[in-house]
Amino acid sequence: MANRTSTIVHDVTESRRYEVASALHIALLEMEGTHSIKELLQMTLDEAERMTESSIGFFHFVAEDQIGLSLEAWSTNTITKMCNAVVEGQHDALDKAGVWADAAREKRAIIHNDYASLKDRKGMPKGHAEITREVVVPVLRGEKVVAIIGVGNKCRNYDESDIKWLGFLADIAWDIVAKKNAEEKQTILQAQKYVIENMAMHDSLTALPNRRLLSDRIGQAIAQCRRSSVMAAIILFDLDKFKPVNDTFGHGIGDVLLQQVAIRALEALRRSGDTLARLGGDEFVVLLPQITAISNAVKVAENILHALSRSFEIESHTINISCSIGIAIYPLHGEDELTLIRHADDAMYKSKSDGRSCITVFASDSAGVTEGI
C-alpha cells in the first residue's frame, strides 16, 4: 500500500510539473515580442528554482567557438537576496571557470551535492552566495553546447529528476531566446545596412543627398513629368568667393559655412518633395519636380539668393557671401539628366560673368545664350 501511495504522489508531481512547464512555454511565447532576453531567462530561472526547490539560479551562454562563457541572467531571488558579486553580461573563459562549468566542458549534466568537499572548486568572489549543493545542465544543439543552466542550494540532495526538469525548462527557453536573438541580430544588420546605404547616398558634411541620390530623383521626376505633361526644374548654384573664406579662416570655418548654407537653402524650399543636393565643394543643386511655370523655379531661386545674402556668424566671425544661380527646365532645356545639369551649369556661369549674386535661366535658342534675371 505504501508503494502504491508513493507512486500516485510521484505521478501527481510529474503531472504538475508538466503543467507548470507548459504554462511557462506559453507565457514565454506571449512575452517574446515585448520582453528582453534577460527577462525571459530570468522568468525561466524563477520557475526552475520553484520546481527544484532551489534558491539560486543562473543562465550562461556558451560562445560559438566553445571557448567563452557569458552570464546572461540570474534568478530574481539570486539578485535580490543571495548575490551581488557579478553582473549580467560578464564574460569568462570556459577553461578557467569553476567546477560548475564542467557541464559545458564535459557536455553532460553535473550534480554537486557536497560542494564544500570538491577538491577542484575555486574560491567564490566577494559578495557571492555560499554554495552548498548545485545542479548544472548543458543545452546542446548538435555537437555544441550553446548554454548552461544551473540552480543551487536545495535543502536536500539533487537527483536525476531535477536534471530532467531543469533541462526541459532550459530547452524551452533556449529555443525561444535563440529565435528572438536571431531576429534582433537581423534587425541590427538591417539597420546597419540602412545606415551604410544612407551614407552612400548622402553627403557626409551636410547630410544632403549626393550626386548618386540626386540622379535617382531626377530620373523619377523626369518619368513623372512625361506621364503628367508638366515641367521640372534644375537649379544649380555655388558660392561666390568661397575660396577666400577657406584661405582666411581655415577649412573648419569653411565646412561650418557650407553646413549653414545647406540649412538656409533647405528653408528656402517650399515643398517637401523638392530636393537640395550637394555635388561637392561649394556647389549645390535643387530639383523641383512637377512645376507649372518657369516662374515657380525663379521664385525658389530668389528665396535662396536672399537667404544666403544675410551674414553668417561662425565662431565670432561675421562672413558675408553671395551665390550665383543657373536654372534649366525640363523639357524646354533638355530631356535627360546630363543635359539639364550641363545647361543649368552654363546658366550659372552666365550669372558669374554678369557680376555674381544673380539668377540666370538657360535659353534654348540656336545660339545657346542665357537670359539673366
Q: Which long-range contacts (CB under 8 A, 24 or more apart) does 82-89 make?
A: 82/55, 82/56, 82/129, 83/56, 83/127, 83/128, 83/129, 84/127, 85/124, 85/125, 85/126, 85/127, 85/128, 86/125, 86/128, 88/38
The percent of residues above 70 in pLDDT, for the chain, comes to 90
Q: How many Cβ atoms are within 10 Å of 176's Cβ, its own excluded?
A: 19
Q: Which residues of 178-214 are buried (b: 16+ CB within 10 A; e: fewer)?
A: bebeeeeeeeeeeeeeeeeeeeeebbeebebbbbebb
Is the pLDDT score of 98 beyond 60?
A: yes
- The secondary structure element, H or E, covering residue 62 is strand 56-62
In this prediction, residue 111 carries a pLDDT of 94
- The secondary structure element, H or E, covering residue 360 is strand 359-362
Is the pLDDT score of 45 beyond 60?
A: yes
- CA atoms in the 13 A half-sphere facing the CB of 135: 25
Active site residues: 282
For residue 170, give the 3-state DSSP assignment: helix
In this prediction, residue 270 carries a pLDDT of 81
pLDDT band at 366 (very low <50, low <70, confident <90, very high): very low
Residue 82 and residue 56 in contact, taking contact as beta carbons nearer than 8 Å? yes
In this prediction, residue 360 carries a pLDDT of 96
pLDDT band at 8 (very low <50, low <70, confident <90, very high): very low
222 phi and psi, to 5 degrees?
A: -65, -45
Q: Output the CA–CA distances (angstroms, integers) from residue 43 to 36, 75, 76, 162, 168, in the order listed.
A: 11, 7, 8, 18, 14
Q: Tell me, what amino acid is at 308?
A: L
Torsion of Cα atoms, 63 then 66 then 69 then 70, to 10°: 10
The domain locations on the chain are 2-194, 211-372
Range of weakest confidence among 88-102, 137-151, 198-212: 88-102
Q: What is the pTM of this model?
A: 0.56
Is the pLDDT score of 298 beyond 60?
A: yes
pLDDT band at 235 (very low <50, low <70, confident <90, very high): very high
Residue 107 and residue 139 in contact, taking contact as beta carbons nearer than 8 Å? no
Q: For the segment 272-283, what is each residue's pLDDT rounded down to a tens digit?
A: 899 999 998 999
Find, among 22, 56, 25, the residue nearest to 40 by Cα.
25
Is the pLDDT score of 372 beyond 80?
A: no
Mean pLDDT for all residues in the chain: 88
Output the CATH code of domain 211-372.
3.30.70.270
Domain 2-194 has CATH 3.30.450.40: yes
Q: For the segment 129-177, what is each residue's pLDDT rounded down to a tens digit?
A: 788 999 999 999 988 999 999 999 999 999 999 999 999 999 999 999 8
